[in-house]
Amino acid sequence: MRKLHIIGAGLAGSEAAWQAAEAGVQVVIHEMRDERRKTEAHSTDQFAELVCSNSFRSDDHTGTAIGVLHEEMRRLGSLIIKTADIHKVPAGAALAIDRDHFSDAVTEKLLNHPNISVTREEITDLPPADWGSVI
């Protein structure tokens, strides 16, 4: 069976890996950060690390487009929004989260999914042709 290769475990890569794995696809996440290698923006080796604001912006699904997107993601089983809901902090109408607990939880879910494997490596060139599908 061919695998889906996902380069990067940021918000989009983490969500893509989760959705594909939940659909029965074998996924390989390639993430460059580990306990020794970070970036100037990142302070951990955790997946879906928020590096600027801890806010996903407005969570009002009746009055804002971003709130509608949040609601659609909830209805579609989004790992990111479900985890954000679990780790939200008071922020008025915004969906703000505890960054560390959020990233830890996303990382744990992905590392423990039976259809996901993780390779800690930096991809610096176009992927090999035998990888097949790559996100």
> For the segment 77-108, what is each residue's pLDDT rounded down to a tens digit?
999 999 999 999 999 999 999 999 999 999 99
User: Which CATH class name applies to 4-134?
Assistant: alpha beta
Taking all residues of the chain, what is their mean pLDDT, rounded to a whole number? 91
Highest mean pLDDT among 37-41, 87-91, 114-118, 123-127: 114-118
Contact 17, 27 (CB under 8 A): yes
User: Are residues 133 and 2 in contact, defined by beta-carbon separation less than 8 angstroms?
Assistant: yes
pTM of the model: 0.89
For the four alpha carbons of 78, 51, 85 and 62, in that order, the dihedral sign comes to: negative
Q: Are 6 and 28 in contact (CB under 8 A)?
A: yes
What one-letter code names the amino acid at 11?
Answer: L
Q: Quote the Cα angle for 12-13-18, to 5°.
A: 100
Domain boundaries, the chain: 4-134
Could you report the per-residue pLDDT of 42-51, keeping only the tens digit for each? Answer: 667 789 998 8
Antiparallel, parallel or unpaired: β 116-120 and 27-31? parallel
Who has greater pLDDT, 38 or 75? 75
Give pLDDT, residue 51: 83
